[in-house]
Amino acid sequence: MKTILQKPETFKSSRIKPVWCPGCGDYGVLNALDKTFKTLEFKPENIAVVSGIGCSGRFSHYFNSYSLHGTHGRALPTATGLKTVRPDLHVVTVGGDGDGLSIGGGHIAHAARKNVDLTYIIMDNNIYGLTKGQSSPTTPLGYTTKTAPYGVYEESLNPIAMFLSYDISFIARTTSADMKIMQKILTEAIEHKGFSLVYVMSPCVTYKALPYSKLKEITSPLPEDHDISDKMAAFKYAYSEETMYTGIFYRKEKSCLNERLQEVFQMAETSKTTSEIMAEFK
């Protein structure tokens, strides 16, 4: 008798329901990622979702897959270790602007130079939402927060420019308000062989440092003729003062961590044993 494999209707957990505030942009990212997994015809047992701390940290609970809710800012190195020992898994890492760009920001450079074959989704609402509205690295200059009652006095980061300087092999920006485009970008990111970073503008409805009403005003899609292999052009659009561009900024094909490790393992297997090396000194 022929076995018929039934595709799951949803990858979202039937036991644990999202508890984000109604209208939170993270719902859009959750649904887009669910549809992406279905489009790619993945099996739940072949997926691992790793998250850090913050509103986005709950992401790993909401999928019927392997999941790990890690510590603050450490989702990326945890996911790197997982992908190293289980290269067969499709690893997706999830964090926010606080978890990913503040306490965990230093890990991005090293994931980039290793070119770990995983996808990192950073959901940015320009504020610390879960811990009640403190300033984050992307909070606009002058905006009043719990930790800056007279207005934020530090300039906000330019994440896309930073990612480009690290030479991340796939860099894209999208918004949680555009499900169709977000799903398309997530699909391409996960299919990409190497470290892919999808930066999602995901407004908070409680602490409105980035309100939905402003999102459409400040964003525009990248020009259709943008060459995603041209890093200097990507830098130009990242630094644009006219609009915040969305789409795929940069893509580059290069060897990834697991391929390089495999080469090391092969060299180690054919190298001299400790006994053989010691025998040379007799």
Q: What are 81-112's pLDDT values in tens digits?
A: 999 999 999 999 999 998 999 989 999 999 99
Residues with Cβ < 8 Å from 75, sequence gap 6 or more? Answer: 50, 51, 52, 93, 94, 95, 99, 100, 104
pLDDT, residue 7, reads: 62
Other Cβ atoms within 10 Å of 153 Cβ, number? 9
Looking at the DSSP assignment, which residues form a beta bridge with residue 124?
201
pLDDT at 5 over 50: no
**Which pLDDT tens digit goes with each residue over 203-260?**
999 999 998 888 889 999 999 999 999 999 999 999 999 999 999 999 999 999 998 8
Q: Sign of the CA dihedral 133, 136, 138, 141? A: positive
Taking the domains of the chain in order of start, what are their residue ranges? 26-254
Mean pLDDT in residue range 176-198: 96
Tell me the sheet residues that pair with 12: 63
The fold adopted by the segment(s) 26-254 is Rossmann fold (3.40.50)
- pLDDT tens, residue by residue, 132-154: 889 999 999 999 999 999 999 99
Q: Which residues in 261-277 are b (16+ Cβ under 10 Å) and which e?
A: eeeeeeeeeeeeeeeee
User: Tens digit of pLDDT for each residue in 45-58?
Assistant: 999 999 999 898 88
pTM of the model: 0.91
> Which residues, at least 6 apart from 20, have a Cβ–Cβ distance to it below 8 Å?
26, 27, 55, 58
